Structure 1
């Protein structure tokens, strides 16, 4: 159990209580109380007390040596702050359980001691780090442990720990899927096996001479260091190749674990290197701090999530960045092409608006309507994608990754911020014309279809829905902005789905499997198999992401209604179509307030669709490339200046002498290539 102490006790009373005599106890309570008490005192007073009262110092020293005697500390080196599972969710589950219900540990280990004398490991470590170096040296001298790093039993534990880590890392590195990530090493000596052999040789030397002392010129140390570097290079190459081969969560976790363990071996062997006597106490202190540091991070959930998801998010945004480059127009021809593609998307959405309204008249449960609405949206979005049209708000999630990739990959060069600002203007006007194309066509198409139905059936089908349709376009009478933000979030999620599908397709080699599938080749022919393979590689991620985007949009309102929540979605293109239906249902007899507030809200909805999806995508892309917003403040300022001086460039395809340079920023970063992680 962990020992709770009274906050009123000072260190002198604790020392007098337990160490005015030679205390033979193995209980950890005296040590826990002492540590708590010195945090409230000036550590200089603690040092002076021991100097003025040598009998207390001797008794305390005896107690410390007694409780540490025979307690191995290898677990603190081989387990703490190292992934224990090869998959993310089992590791997450284990850490949560350990936080709620700490595991039962072997009481004869240093691991158990630290767990039970320190209530707040991070806080205690910070306290020790803040102590003056000379005072730490003095207390170690008083306790007689300033040179414990040279003791044979300590060296034995450290060498044993390195061997344990090496055995584990070798086993993981030899797995087929891991080796596939670094094919460069298939025909070379495996560095993990070489490292293991070198550590085993060191163990033999230590057994023959327990007083062995490594130094920086020692050939054994040099060999171990070289092999560790090769092992780390293996991991780096594997991560770089993830852009080429894709990666699974399990392999990502295995590579992270290999990296952690090889780094830990390096940190341990560094402690064994002593070139002069001054380094003895330095390395002794470092071992203590390392053990405490490892233990303070052992169940850190945020670090697990950050480390485990960063690479996956990088790969997802890498794939969406390549897609996003197609949404940035550089000249008038591309600008007008974007308008035509967006207009095509607007035509389909106009029809979807009418279909959804008609589905609403059908009797059925909330989940029946959720199915119909989801099918309606999903069918429409997949059609838009396969026909080569554009849904404007699908772009931000893609283009955000593109912009971040440009920033990240140009970061090590002397970047011209004006060129990047010009690129942003192209992005903005591309989004603008896509919005215009969607809205300009969805409104009249919805109006035309509902008019045609009125003529054909001699009934205005929009009458019953008109009040609600127009009310939903009033931000003061409805949650239009919230619902627009929800749609923006779904746009962001659909971008993640697209990137994830692309990554999995590459990792599992789905196109290659299709092309070489014997059954397909036998019954449908080799040419068909190749065409199907190319079609899958080109379109499957887009089909799946658009399908799920449709499901999210269609199911939100019925599911929200089922749970009694006012949830819904608002999308600029659908809002324009619904505006047309609302006006027609009212026979165009609406007051000026209703007309103008609805008209303006259509574009407000578009703004929040864009803002939420683009911001979330930028955040994910920034995080995946270990960038922070502080690094790009200057870029933001330059973009604002560029907008003030060239406002029309953000809306119209005006030529500029920066066109080629800004386009090169994108083109130079788009090919899939190895990247550091």
Structure 2
């Protein structure tokens, strides 16, 4: 079949349409992208046929020259594989429209012809699966021999125009107010972006004159490469500054587009002024990049994934910075975590009691949701202000910290760093364990003491009917406790995202400074306003996350009631306090079966709370960093090996011996 297609092309190489090339690609297409045997077999047959029959190779070369000669190539170089300026909403509706009514291709433009040739990106998987060496061998065959000067000149002129367009775009992006505001030195000194644009213009003009034989030699392209390196270094500086001063989606998007445009300029320079021996391999990589980009440009999933990564990177960056505060490795930190969790346990016991009392109020459903939300929100905010720790709030922070550690080792022989990563995982688990002990171990006796004191004054904090309802809600068999615990775990994860978002927004938009500079606070002294600024700078995200977390917990039951759905939340600390109040209400006259079921239910609620929030936070943090860590099984074995040597480190920190 390959022979017939190539013979047909050779008989009429000036046909000027892509249909024969489409048939050739169809013949090369494997049964599945993972079938390397099919790929090697089909490409091997093509290479063998082209090398054995020179007339077929010459015919295929003339055919491709004909396709290139009469088409605009500039869009292929300047747009394909580079993020467009369209936003999330515009990209979403464009893709929906294309799925309903596919676009019409104009074969005069090489990028649209290429898109139709690879079936709007449906061939991207197998094109990427073909090894670079196989593609390079095919392109080496096609580039060998002589080609018409008109085709070479047309292609070179298109590449030069593309180089100029990309340089002007980089210059425009480099002068965006948002980027200049983050790196004011661009205004003080000569901008490398403007210098790159001017140098590119000069280089293109000389190359055009060289093609027109108006000069003998073109100028050296290495000055452009120096300027491109300076532009890349400036983007890296801006990125480092954003880690301290916050970042917006638009700025992240701008930096990514700029890096892609500079990489494309470097590729075009390699084609124009580089060694021709490297062209086949460069073409192989470029074809793969174009194929994947074409697939992503029509994919809703790729659009959402890309924007999610940009957003997630922003909101998890600050979470990873604060996450190390929730991980203890010493005994001093271990006991500090216990005391912090114990403070939270005291407050949780009273929050649970207030929640029980608020159920007695004759309020409309929305009124109840409002009261419940205020109780949770202000209670969690009070815990934070008093430096308490809610155990289930830790995963969203520790997962980001863990993902940051994975990112640091994933590109530098991670096998050598598995020991350190395993130790970090053990530290995370131990810190989480002592925080839970602090919450539960303090909330339970405090709730018992409050309930018994209330009873001593001649009243019960809750009725036996309410107590029976609370015990029913703890049963993992008779109620939806596990499902409701998963909902709470999702909200814990979401509150961590909100905290990261507001931490980033606080430093990027300078919210603390703007608040303290407000005219309504001018009656305060300057020193007090500066203290407020400093506190908000470090705590605005945590306060916002706790506030919204309280709203989510307090309103979930009402949302379920309004929609007729069995929605509610179960949280391990509040479930423990509710169990204590139920014990007092029944005057401790509960059967051992009820006590066991309730205790098991509380443990399962805690595991689901932590498991859901931690897994979601870890997946998002890894995704936001583009990390693909594949050594989970070796990591687990390393953890087990360390626990085998020191099993108590899972629950108790090793004493650190200081060297004198």
Q: TM-score, normalised by structure 1?
A: 0.82
**Aligned equivalents of 2:425, 2:52: Cα separation in 1:** 70
Q: Residue 12 and residue 652 in structure 1: after superposition, are their counterparts in 2 closer, same or farther (change >3 A)?
A: closer
Q: CA offset at residue 353 of structure 1?
A: 1.7
> 1:557 maps to which residue?
557
> 1:438 maps to which residue?
439
**Aligned equivalents of 1:410, 1:289: Cα separation in 2:** 27
| SS of match in other structure, 2:72 | coil
| SS of match in other structure, 2:600 | helix
What are the residue-to-residue correspondences of 1:559-598 with 2, within 5 Å?
A: 559-598=559-598
Q: Do the aligned partners of 1:324 and 1:399 also contact (CA within 8 Å) in 2?
A: yes
| SS of match in other structure, 1:209 | helix
Unaligned runs of 5+ in 2: 31-40
Q: Do the aligned partners of 2:136 and 2:281 also contact (CA within 8 Å) in 1?
A: no
> 1:36 maps to which residue?
26
The reply on whether 1:194 has 2:195 as its aligned counterpart is yes
Q: CA offset at residue 265 of structure 1?
A: 0.8
Q: CA offset at residue 507 of structure 1?
A: 0.8
**Aligned equivalents of 1:286, 1:149: Cα separation in 2:** 26
**Aligned equivalents of 2:213, 2:300: Cα separation in 1:** 40
Cα shift readout 1:622-670 (whole Å, capped 9, x = no counterpart): 444444443565554343233333333433455243x899xxxxxxxxx
Q: CA offset at residue 348 of structure 1?
A: 1.7
**Aligned equivalents of 1:128, 1:294: Cα separation in 2:** 16
**Aligned equivalents of 2:146, 2:558: Cα separation in 1:** 69
> 1:509 maps to which residue?
510
Q: Residue 377 and residue 505 in structure 1: after superposition, are their counterparts in 2 closer, same or farther (change >3 A)?
A: same
> 1:497 maps to which residue?
498
> 1:665 maps to which residue?
none
Q: Residue 171 and residue 214 in structure 1: after superposition, are their counterparts in 2 closer, same or farther (change >3 A)?
A: farther
Q: Residue 408 and residue 114 in structure 1: after superposition, are their counterparts in 2 closer, same or farther (change >3 A)?
A: closer
> 1:115 maps to which residue?
115
Number of equivalences: 645
Q: Residue 98 and residue 651 in structure 1: after superposition, are their counterparts in 2 closer, same or farther (change >3 A)?
A: same
**Aligned equivalents of 1:62, 1:403: Cα separation in 2:** 56
**Aligned equivalents of 2:135, 2:86: Cα separation in 1:** 40
Q: Residue 442 and residue 164 in structure 1: after superposition, are their counterparts in 2 closer, same or farther (change >3 A)?
A: same
Q: CA offset at residue 503 of structure 1?
A: 0.8
Q: Residue 299 and residue 167 in structure 1: after superposition, are their counterparts in 2 closer, same or farther (change >3 A)?
A: farther
Q: Do the aligned partners of 1:83 and 1:91 also contact (CA within 8 Å) in 2?
A: no
**Aligned equivalents of 1:48, 1:333: Cα separation in 2:** 71
Q: CA offset at residue 267 of structure 1?
A: 0.9
Q: Residue 187 and residue 447 in structure 1: after superposition, are their counterparts in 2 closer, same or farther (change >3 A)?
A: same
Q: CA offset at residue 345 of structure 1?
A: 1.5
Unaligned runs of 5+ in 1: 1-9, 662-677
Q: Residue 291 and residue 448 in structure 1: after superposition, are their counterparts in 2 closer, same or farther (change >3 A)?
A: closer
Q: CA offset at residue 430 of structure 1?
A: 3.3
> 1:241 maps to which residue?
241
**Aligned equivalents of 2:27, 2:324: Cα separation in 1:** 61
**Aligned equivalents of 2:3, 2:296: Cα separation in 1:** 32
What are the residue-to-residue correspondences of 1:468-547 with 2, within 5 Å?
A: 468-515=469-516, 517=517, 519-520=519-520, 522-547=522-547
What are the residue-to-residue correspondences of 1:126-205 with 2, within 5 Å?
A: 126=128, 131=134, 134=137, 136-138=139-141, 151-205=152-206
> 2:37 maps to which residue?
none
**Aligned equivalents of 2:285, 2:328: Cα separation in 1:** 56
Cα shift readout 1:457-511 (whole Å, capped 9, x = no counterpart): 7466332222332122222222323322322222222122111111111111223
Greater Cα shift, 496-505 or 279-288 = 279-288
Q: Do the aligned partners of 2:462 and 2:582 also contact (CA within 8 Å) in 1?
A: no
Q: Do the aligned partners of 1:149 and 1:155 also contact (CA within 8 Å) in 2?
A: no
RMSD: 4.0
Q: CA offset at residue 422 of structure 1?
A: 5.4
Cα shift readout 1:214-239 (whole Å, capped 9, x = no counterpart): 99x97521111111111111212211
> 2:207 maps to which residue?
206
**Aligned equivalents of 2:129, 2:350: Cα separation in 1:** 66
Q: Residue 391 and residue 27 in structure 1: after superposition, are their counterparts in 2 closer, same or farther (change >3 A)?
A: same
Greater Cα shift, 167-176 or 393-402 = 393-402
> 1:647 maps to which residue?
647
Q: TM-score, normalised by structure 2?
A: 0.84
Q: Residue 477 and residue 269 in structure 1: after superposition, are their counterparts in 2 closer, same or farther (change >3 A)?
A: same
**Aligned equivalents of 1:400, 1:55: Cα separation in 2:** 61
